[in-house]
C-alpha cells in the first residue's frame, strides 16, 4: 500500500510517499518515516488522519500497534496521514530525574555550606534541630521520588518534550531554593518541640502512605506499562480517585507544620492547585472510560482529591 505523509498545512513531507506491505502497522510506518527523514524518530511523530475539509474537531490519532489498513476508508491501497513534529523528546524517567535532582542537591547546599556568609550575613549561624530534621525529611522525600521514578511507576507515555525538562526544573529548583533559603536561614525561628514532632510524624506517615498508593497504581499495569487506565482500587483509592496526590499534599502539610515558613506554605498551595487540576482531568477521564455502557464497568462514586471537600 502507498502512504502519503503530509504536514498539517498539507505539504508533502516525504516526496512520492512510502510503499509498505499491506500488513504493515503504524509503528512500521513510523520507522519508515524515520528512515527517510532521519530527523523524525518515532516518539517525535504524531500521526493523525486528515480532517475532511471545513470540519472542526479532533483528528483521529493513529495507534502504533494497529495495522494501517484499519485506518483506510474505502481504498485499502492508499492512505494519507498527517505528521506533526512533537519536537525533541526525553524519556519520562529522565524528565522526573532532573526535576527532582535539583531540590535534592539544593537543600543540603543551604544547610551545609556557608551560603549566608556569602550572601553577606555576618553573625554566627546556630543550627536548630528542626533545621537538621527538615533537611533529612526533604532529602528523603526527593530521594524516594527518584527511586519511585525508576523502580515503581509504570508510565504509559514513553517520552515527553525536551522543553518540559526546562519548565519543570524551573518550577522544582526555584521552589527548592526558595524554601531552603528560609528554613536554613540563620535568623530562622523554630517552632515548639511538640509541633515539630507532630508535623514531621504526620508528614512521614503520609510519605509512607503515598509510597503505598504508588505501589497500588503500579499494579494496575503490566511490566511494559501496557494495560491502559484501570479503576484504582484498595486503601484510600476506594474513596478518592487521586489518593497519591491526597497523601502528597498532606505530607507537605506535615513538613510545613514542623518548619512553618511562608515559602513552604506558598509551595503547598501552588502544588495543591496543580495536583487538583490534574486530579480533575484524571477523574473525568476515568468516568469517561468506565461509563457503564456496553459491558464496561461504571466508575464508582468517589471524591476527586481532598475528601470531604471535593
Ligand atoms: N509536589 C508536587 O508539585 C507534585 C506534583 C505532581 C506529582 N507529585 C508527586 O509525584 C507522584 C507522581 O506524579 P504523577 O503525576 O506522575 O502521578 P500519576 O500520574 O497519578 O500516577 C503515577 C503513575 O501511575 C499511573 N497511573 C495513574 N492512574 C492510573 C490508572 N487509573 N490506571 C493505570 N495507571 C495509572 C500513571 O500512568 P501514566 O504514565 O499514564 O500517567 C503513572 O505512571 C505523585 O503521586 C505525587 O506524589 C508531586
- Ligand 1 neighbours, Cβ below 6 Å, are 153-157, 210, 217, 220-221, 229-230, 232, 244-245, 248, 271, 274-275
52 vs 177, which has greater pLDDT? 177
The mean predicted confidence, pLDDT, of the chain is 94
Residue 110 — pLDDT band, cuts 50, 70, 90? very high
Whether the link from the prior residue into 233 is cis, omega within 30° of 0, is no
Nearest alpha-carbon partner for 8 in 85, 69, 92: 85
Q: What's the pLDDT at 73?
A: 80
Distance 248 CA to ligand 1 centre (A): 11
The model's pLDDT over 89-99, given as tens digits with 9 standing for 90+, comes to 999 999 999 99
Residues in contact with 239: Cβ distance below 8 Å, sequence separation at least 6, in sequence order:
302, 303, 307
pLDDT at 75 over 80: no
- The protein residue with its alpha carbon nearest to ligand 1, atom 48, reads 248
Q: What's the pLDDT at 226?
A: 73
Q: Cell 495536583 identifies what position?
A: 275
What average pLDDT does range 113-117 have in this prediction? 96
Longest dimension (CA), the chain: 81
Residues in contact with 112: Cβ distance below 8 Å, sequence separation at least 6, in sequence order:
none
The partner residues of 47 in beta bridges, in order of sequence, read: 83
Q: What's the pLDDT at 224?
A: 74
Residue 162 — pLDDT band, cuts 50, 70, 90? very high
CA dist 147 → 16, 96, 226, 232 (Å): 48, 10, 21, 22
Which range, of 53-67, 91-105, 126-140, 281-295, averages the lowest pLDDT? 53-67
Distance 17 CA to ligand 1 centre (A): 39
Q: What's the pLDDT at 157?
A: 81
Q: What's the pLDDT at 29?
A: 96
Residues in contact with 191: Cβ distance below 8 Å, sequence separation at least 6, in sequence order:
130, 199, 257, 258, 259, 260
Mutate which of 145, 244, 252, 288 to test ligand 1's pocket (most atoms within 8 Å of Cβ)?
244
Contact between 249 and 268 under an 8 Å Cβ cutoff? The reply is yes
What average pLDDT does range 62-90 have in this prediction? 90
Distance 99 CA to ligand 1 centre (A): 15
pLDDT at 267 over 90: yes
CA dist 215 → 100, 155, 209, 280, 310 (Å): 19, 13, 10, 21, 24
Residue 145 — pLDDT band, cuts 50, 70, 90? very high
**Strand stretches in 49-174, DSSP E:** 78-85, 89-91, 159-161
Residue 57 — pLDDT band, cuts 50, 70, 90? confident
144: its cell numbers = 524516594
Q: What's the pLDDT at 152?
A: 96
pLDDT at 74 over 80: no
Nearest alpha-carbon partner for 239 in 306, 308, 302, 297: 302
Question: Residues for the chain: how many in total?
Answer: 310
Q: What's the pLDDT at 256?
A: 98
DSSP percent split of the chain into helix, strand, coil, nearest 5: 55, 10, 35
Rounded Cα distance, 127 and 47, in Å: 57
The model's pLDDT over 207-246, given as tens digits with 9 standing for 90+, comes to 999 999 999 999 999 877 677 899 999 999 999 999 999 9
Amino acid at each position: 500500500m502507498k502512504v502519503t505523509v503530509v504536514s498539517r498545512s498539507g505539504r508533502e513531507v516525504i516526496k512520492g510517499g512510502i510503499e509498505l506491505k499491506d500488513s504493515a502497522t503504524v509503528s512500521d510506518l513510523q520507522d519508515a518515516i524515520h528512515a527517510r527523514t532521519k530527523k523524525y524518530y518515532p516518539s517525535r511523530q504524531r500521526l493523525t488522519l486528515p480532517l475532511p475539509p471545513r470540519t472542526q474537531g479532533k483528528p483521529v490519532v493513529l495507534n502504533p500497534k494497529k495495522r494501517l489498513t484499519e485506518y483506510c476508508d474505502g481504498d485499502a491501497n492508499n492512505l494519507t496521514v498527517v505528521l506533526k513534529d512533537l519536537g525533541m523528546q526525553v524519556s519520562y524517567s529522565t524528565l522526573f530525574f532532573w526535576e527532582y535532582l535539583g531540590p535534592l542537591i539544593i537543600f543540603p547546599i543551604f544547610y551545609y555550606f556557608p551560603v549566608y556568609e556569602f550572601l553577606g550575613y555576618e553573625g554566627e549561624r546556630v543550627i536548630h534541630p528542626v533545621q537538621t530534621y527538615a533537611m533529612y525529611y526533604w532529602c528523603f522525600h526527593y530521594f524516594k521520588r527518584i527511586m519511585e521514578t525508576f523502580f515503581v511507576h509504570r508510565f504509559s507515555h514513553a517520552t515527553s518534550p525536551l522543553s518540559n525538562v526546562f519548565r519543570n526544573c524551573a518550577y522544582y529548583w526555584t521552589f527548592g531554593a526558595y524554601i531552603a533559603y528560609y528554613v536554613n536561614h540563620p535568623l530562622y525561628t523554630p517552632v515548639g518541640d511538640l509541633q515539630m514532632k507532630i508535623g514531621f510524624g504526620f508528614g512521614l506517615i503520609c510519605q509512607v502512605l503515598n509510597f503505598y498508593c504508588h505501589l497500588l497504581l503500579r499494579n494496575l499495569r503490566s511490566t511494559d506499562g501496557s494495560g491502559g487506565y484501570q479503576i484504582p482500587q484498595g486503601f484510600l483509592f476506594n474513596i478518592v480517585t487521586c489518593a497519591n496526590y491526597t497523601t502528597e499534599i498532606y505530607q507537605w502539610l506535615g513538613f510545613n507544620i514542623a518548619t512553618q515558613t511562608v515559602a513552604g506554605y506558598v509551595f503547598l498551595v501552588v502544588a495543591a492547585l496543580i495536583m487538583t487540576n490534574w486530579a480533575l482531568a484524571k477523574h473525568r477521564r476515568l468516568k469517561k472510560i468506565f461509563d457503564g455502557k456496553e459491558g464496561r464497568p461504571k466508575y464508582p462514586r468517589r471524591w476527586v482529591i481532598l475528601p470531604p471537600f471535593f
